[in-house]
Structure 1
Amino acid sequence: MDKTILTITLNPSVDKSSSVQNIVPEKKLRCNSPIYEPGGGGVNVSRALKRLGVVSDIFFTSGGRTGRLLENLLKGEELNVFPFHITSETRENFIVLDLSTNKQYRFGFPGEELTLEQQKDILSILPTINPCPDFVVISGSLPTNTNPNFLRRLVNIYKAMGTKVIIDTSGEALKTAVEEGVFLLKPNIGELAFLVGKEKLEETDIDHAARFIISQGKAEIVVVSLGSQGAVLFSESEKIKIAAPVVEVKSTVGAGDSMVAGMVSVLVKGGNCKEALSMGIACGSATTMTQGTGLFTKENAKHLFYEIWK
């Protein structure tokens, strides 16, 4: 039987991107027609998995006009959606490219607070989604003022169900979730430093920090993102470092989510850690080749994977 995947996005968005010639203050700027795309950690992971031919279910909060637009956009991509309706408005993000400098400006807005009643309902509803997922990806930020302990309870629910939990968030939310122990986490160097109580880590300290987390039972696999340099994966018995391929970077929006999707697409089929990391880096790099908020094309991801793998 095929393994099943559920992604959870508690603070999704609609990403609105455009371009303009020469950004200057105090001047009315005539932007090109905007493009609207679904956004938020788990939402992007599911969208990326679809490009790789892997089916997943998407649970996300949805509210107001923007929430309806988000649902329609996801249905337009023929994804399996499980919206949880809230009274507040789903957030928007705005990304604009200055055509004169080829620099991208990203404006992110906070999500509205989830009420305690809504949080309780979410914790009740999620275990009823069938089939019970073999993998659950909890990705993206928490809505404003949401207690990180909510994430702890979410992790506990799925661990009790025998589900492998993958976490990709930041700050106290990440730290709290990891305290419960997860299958895989994907911090950058700054987030890894935060997890082990350090202000910063030198590259030579990464090994010790990642292995400490694994030795404490906080994660089975730690994948440390090194940005344009690639990533390094740690497990109890392995250390695998892979450099990122050289590509023309047009946008970094969604690259981290695409990396998670690439790794999950391999792990869900029983692939090994080296193959998973290679596909993750390929998908993340391929996404940076795409303008605005678009994710990778399958062709670019496969091409980069074979370039890395050879």
Structure 2
Amino acid sequence: MAFLSCPSLIGTITMNPTIDVAAQTQSVRPTHKLRTFGEREDPGGGGLNVARVVRELGGRALALVLSGGATGRHLEELLAEDGTPFQPVRIAGRTRISHSVTDASNGHEYRFVAEGPTVGEAEWRAVLDAIEALDAGWLIASGSLPPGVPADFYHRVAAVAERRNTPFVLDSSGPALTMGLAGRVHLLKSSLTELEMVAGRALPTRDDQERAASDLVSAGRVAMVALTLGEHGAMLMLPEGPFWLPALNVVVNGTAGAGDSFLAGMVMALGEGRSPMDAFAWGVATGAAAVTAPGTAHPDRGTVERLRGLVRGPARA
């Protein structure tokens, strides 16, 4: 099974990018100086991850990204090195650096995520101007908002997308997510924690999760919801009801960017004109391929296509 040639440019927005530094150590112990090995650096942040995966799968993407200071220049170097098409919006603050360390003795991964720089009004408004000028078939807002950016920023982005008749995809958390859902959202990609926050209650069972996602779709807040649950699989909520897929049995070498990879695979398939359920299956395959590779969101295209062949059709609950 192979991806077709996706005709649509997929535009992504990364308001709080990071340089992801990943390494391993023999054992994580407090107060000790821990020697690391296998170090690597990746440009990170939801929208950058999505754009990189789209490119690696053979699609067209352009990442709008805030970039600042010496670390921002390094971020741009990393993006240029891995071939991710990007358009920087430069800011005064320094781009953040985040770290993940894997304990080689037990496989546990520890992730340390920085808050990010404070962004001024003129800087975040420059992103809105860039979105207005972007000729994209799909627009994806993925990731957190840094300090200084208003919580309704993604709602403003959704308004731009609606004026331009561009399908808008949202993957965020906190107030940025809840306020973003006040706009017109074609696809919401959510983790369980994020869906619980939107619902305002715990969602311990499949029935609870289906009801919360169905409420969003039936209320007209989103056209479809993709809920990713890691080793417990994923759910796609459409107007006709929920569909589930189990997680694929793969060797996990790192989880950073798995959700972004899922989103890239699904949106790319939608951009090719595939059905939502087929696109959902491609998302599951892409997310699974991502966790087999070290670093942040580096699914191999051949692995994605092989794993897609192992995904059975989504099942009604």
Structure 1 length normalisation: TM-score?
A: 0.95
Matched, 1:228 2:243: no
Matched, 1:134 2:146: no
One of 17, 20, 23 as aligned partner of 2:25: 20
Residue 208 of structure 1, aligned match among 208, 211, 221: 211
Question: Is the 8 Å Cα contact of residues 114 and 146 (structure 1) preserved in structure 2?
Answer: yes
Equivalent position of 2:192 in the other structure: 189
CA 193–28 in structure 1, closer or farther in 2 if over 3 Å, else same: closer
Query: 2:89 maps to which residue?
Result: 84
Whole-Å separation in 2 of the counterparts to 1:9 and 1:38: 11
> TM-score with structure 2 length normalisation?
0.93
User: 1:210, 1:28 → 2: CA distance?
Assistant: 46
Letter in 2 for 1:101: N
Q: Does 1:71 align with 2:76?
A: yes
Name 1:281's counterpart in structure 2: 284
* Number of residues of Structure 1 aligned to a counterpart in Structure 2: 308
Q: CA deviation at 1:111?
A: 0.9
Matched ranges for 1:290-309 at <5 A:
290-309=293-312
Give the direction of change, closer, same or farther, for the CA distance of 1:175–1:294 in structure 2 (3 Å limit): closer
Which segment drifts farther, 110-119 or 254-263?
Answer: 110-119
- Cα deviation, 1:173-207, whole Å, max 9, x if unaligned, reads 11101111200001122322221232445321222
Question: Would you say 1:31 and 2:36 are equivalent positions?
Answer: yes
Q: Please state whether the residue corresponding to 1:245 is helix, strand or coil.
A: coil
1:47 is matched with which residue? Answer: 52
Residue type of the alignment partner of 1:298: R
Query: In 2 relative to 1, CA 202–253 (structure 1 residues): closer, same or farther, beyond 3 Å?
Result: same
Amino acid at match of 1:279: W
Residues 203, 209 of structure 2: 8 Å contact kept: no
What RMSD in Å do the two structures reach over aligned CA positions?
A: 1.6
Deviations 1:40-86 (A, max 9, x none): 00100011111110011110000111111111111112222100001
Match of 1:115 in 2: 120
User: Share of identical aligned residues, percent?
Assistant: 32
Consecutive unaligned residues of structure 1, counting only runs of 5 or more, are none
SS in 1 for 2:146: coil
How far residue 145 of structure 1 moved from its aligned partner, in angstroms, is 4.3
State how far apart, in whole Å, the 1-side matches of 2:101 and 2:204 are.
32
Supply the distance in 1 between the matched residues of 2:228 and 2:35 (Cα, whole angstroms): 37
Could you tell me how far apart the structure 2 residues matched to 1:205 and 1:289 are? Answer: 30
Q: Who is 2:157 aligned against? A: 154
Which residue of the partner structure matches residue 2 of structure 1? 7
- The equivalent residue for 1:265 is 268
Distance 2:85 2:109 in 1: 31
Q: Match of 1:143, as an amino acid?
A: P
Secondary structure of the 2:60 match is coil
CA distance in 1, matches of 2:199, 2:285: 28
Is there any run of 5+ residues in structure 2 with no aligned partner, and where? 1-5
CA contact (8 A) 1:282 1:302 kept: yes
- What is the CA–CA distance in structure 2 between the aligned matches of 1:273 and 1:98, rounded to whole Å? 38
Q: What per-residue deviation string (whole Å, max 9, x for no partner) do you get for residues 274-310 of structure 1?
A: 2111110111111111224352111221111101147
Moved over 6 A (4+): none
Asked whether the 8 Å contact 2:20–2:98 carries over to 1, the reply is yes
Residues 37/237 of structure 1: CA separation in 2 closer, same or farther (3 Å cut):
same
How far did residue 247 of structure 1 move?
Answer: 1.1
Residues 232 and 246 of structure 2 are in contact (CA less than 8 Å); yes or no, is this contact kept in structure 1?
yes
Q: What SS does structure 2 have at the residue aligned with 1:261?
A: helix
SS of the counterpart of 1:11? coil
Counterpart check, 1:11 vs 2:16: yes
User: 2:190 aligns to what SS in structure 1?
Assistant: coil
Asked if 1 retains the 8 angstrom alpha-carbon contact of 2:227 and 2:236, the reply is yes
Amino acid at match of 2:23: S
Q: Is the 8 A contact 1:193 1:201 kept in 2?
A: no
